[in-house]
Structure 1
Amino acid sequence: MKWLGVWLVLLCYSEYGYSSNTQRQPVSLYTYHYMPPYVVDSQKQIGLFYDVARFFNQHQQQYNFQVSYIPRKRLNYQLAQHEFDGVVIGVNPVWFQDREKQKYLWTGALMQDQDEFLSHRSQPFEYVDKASLYDKQVGGISGFRYHTVDKLVAEGLVNRIDTSNESRLLKMLLKRRFDCAIVSRATTIYYQTLLNTNQELHFSSKPHDRYTRHLLMPKQMKDVLQVVEPLILQLLQSPQWQQQMLLYQTQLDPQ
């Protein structure tokens, strides 16, 4: 429970306390990445995304930000129907076919991350190029998009096997139910410590993808963007946040 203890300590000593000001306009910070370390405990509000919301709430008086879960399929539907009214935290423009940032409003980068190719150490998988994946069984999360793998699946060159969450995905990988799996580095670090699997998982030298995480919002929320954008810059300059990100990125060296 090392990671949970770390988050509890960070929460208890954090400067990012929620304000009780009920006059603020509520804004939901939606995420479909309902997994550690972004969301560790929703009831106790432990996790990176809760820390971001607390920081936002302390450093402005107009909005009350609250982290909420939304399935990716529901989010896609609401965006397509122009029914979405909120902010999506921790996402990348490429995942929403908005590389040029024309369809939605986007903040600057909140953090760096990457998706790893994981395999069992007894049968290590190394990703060199797409040919490395031919005829492989690849584990993923239902509703998530993996650009390289999904193209090969559509071409009949790869078999993708989906699970409901990252914990189940890693457990199935340890049972050798597929050749490799795609999991974010941060989530893998958390579960490696929790499940004590440090010696059983192999990280490919080349990851599936490296990317930045941003906040997405519909174009009618320009007022929220104007408030949030400087808050992100302020957050990234916070020594406490920098220390927290260092822990998040280097708690365990996969190599």
Structure 2
Amino acid sequence: MKAKLLLLISAVFMLQHPGFQAVFADEQPIPVTVGLTSIQPPFVINSEKQLGLAYAFTDFLNRKQKKFIFNPRMVPVKRLLKTEKGPEINIIAFNDVDWGWKKRGGEGSLPLTYGSDLFVRHKQQKPTSALQESSSAANTVTIAAVRGFHYAFAGFKASNLEQMENVRLTKDELAVLRLVEHGRTDTGIISQSLLDWLSKTSPERFRLLNINPEPDHTYERQLIVLPSSPVSLDELNALLLQLRGPEMNRIFSEFGLRPPPLQYR
């Protein structure tokens, strides 16, 4: 009995030894905080319920390797870019590195999607006369767009949108879609990704849209590696290439998206 007691005491002291703790600490996955910048289906559908491709994809990464644990966190982009330091975010998910991240030291991973913004109209609804009268000219085409986004038709400056009388600004692309469906605007500008998701989840709504195939502009959605990230760009790209295949493709397909290209254009 005395021998067992001594053995137990020795074990307790061993567990408390810094060297012993360091060995086991090294085996713990390294946390990586992944910033999600807005509610934008299919990438983020519901942040409270953690629904969307961003959540499914980080879960996939966590299941397939043990070195890192990727923790998605909803942080509005304005909060991230407002101050020099900002919240401690390591990676930005499903953004383009050219959307203001380069000046913060961000580096873009291999593309997860090739994206574009498209103009859409509704096949049945017509804009209300009240909306037409509010335009600066009778023949002005009203456009619903997302406040703060950068579009080619506005010179890629969000501030220009505020000054365009024929533009109706909304909080997100789902609001743009609703304005189009209810005839509250002549046209709306919506991402190809959301339209692909809509075609899978609500094909009856999708069929009622006239989509102009000529994009306002094109871009790539990547994982943006920030200077604070414990995983390097090379490590992340290597991991993406290692995991590419049917299982990764199925995750994207569940949200109506094509397999990730993982190749710079």
Is 1:59 paired with 2:64? yes
Identity %: 23
Q: Distance in 2 between matches of 1:92 and 1:40?
A: 19
Which residue of structure 2 aligns with residue 73 of structure 1?
78
CA shift at 1:51, angstroms?
A: 2.2
CA contact (8 A) 1:59 1:231 kept: no
Q: Secondary structure in 2 aligned to 1:233?
A: helix
CA contact (8 A) 2:119 2:211 kept: yes
Which residue of structure 2 aligns with residue 139 of structure 1?
144
- The amino acid of 2:119's aligned partner reads F
Q: Secondary structure in 2 aligned to 1:68?
A: strand
CA contact (8 A) 1:30 1:89 kept: yes
Q: Distance in 1 between matches of 2:150 and 2:218?
A: 14
Which residue of structure 2 aligns with residue 176 of structure 1?
183
Is the alpha carbon distance of 1:83 and 1:39 closer, same or farther for their aligned partners in structure 2, counting shifts above 3 Å? Answer: closer
Q: Secondary structure in 1 aligned to 2:207?
A: coil
Q: Distance in 2 between matches of 1:73 and 1:114?
A: 22
Equivalent of residue 39 in structure 2, options 26, 34, 38: 34
CA contact (8 A) 2:43 2:53 kept: yes
Is 1:83 paired with 2:86? yes
Q: Distance in 2 between matches of 1:151 and 1:221?
A: 28
- The amino acid of 2:208's aligned partner reads E
Q: Distance in 2 between matches of 1:215 and 1:146?
A: 21
**Any idea what the Cα deviations from partners look like across 1:143-198, whole Å, max 9, x if unmatched?**
32223335597396663221122222211111222221111122123345438323
**Any idea what the Cα deviations from partners look like across 1:55-101, whole Å, max 9, x if unmatched?**
221233232212121212112214xx133432111011222174xx8
Q: Where do 5+ consecutive residues of structure 1 fail to align?
A: 1-21, 125-133, 251-255
Equivalent of residue 99 in structure 2, options 95, 99, 114: 95
Q: Distance in 1 between matches of 2:99 and 2:189?
A: 15
CA contact (8 A) 2:30 2:69 kept: yes
Q: Where do 5+ consecutive residues of structure 2 fail to align?
A: 1-26, 127-138, 259-265
CA shift at 1:205, angstroms?
A: 2.1
Is the alpha carbon distance of 1:246 and 1:223 closer, same or farther for their aligned partners in structure 2, counting shifts above 3 Å? Answer: closer
- The amino acid of 1:85's aligned partner reads E
Q: Secondary structure in 1 aligned to 2:202?
A: helix
Q: Distance in 2 between matches of 1:65 and 1:210?
A: 28
Equivalent of residue 106 in structure 1, options 108, 112, 137: 108
Between 146-155 and 157-166, report the one with greater CA deviation: 146-155
Q: Distance in 1 between matches of 2:123 and 2:82?
A: 39
- The amino acid of 1:92's aligned partner reads D
**Any idea what the Cα deviations from partners look like across 1:21-67, whole Å, max 9, x if unmatched?**
x9433222111242222123434433211222122212332322121
Which residue of structure 2 aligns with residue 154 of structure 1?
160
Larger radius of gyration: 2
Report the TM-score, using the length of structure 1 for normalisation: 0.70
Structure 1 runs (4+) deviating above 4 angstroms are 150-153, 155-158
Q: Distance in 1 between matches of 2:125 and 2:214?
A: 16
Q: Secondary structure in 2 aligned to 1:35?
A: coil
CA contact (8 A) 1:30 1:69 kept: yes
Q: Distance in 2 between matches of 1:202 and 1:212?
A: 24
CA contact (8 A) 1:117 1:183 kept: yes
Which residue of structure 2 aligns with residue 253 of structure 1?
none
Q: Secondary structure in 2 aligned to 1:26?
A: strand
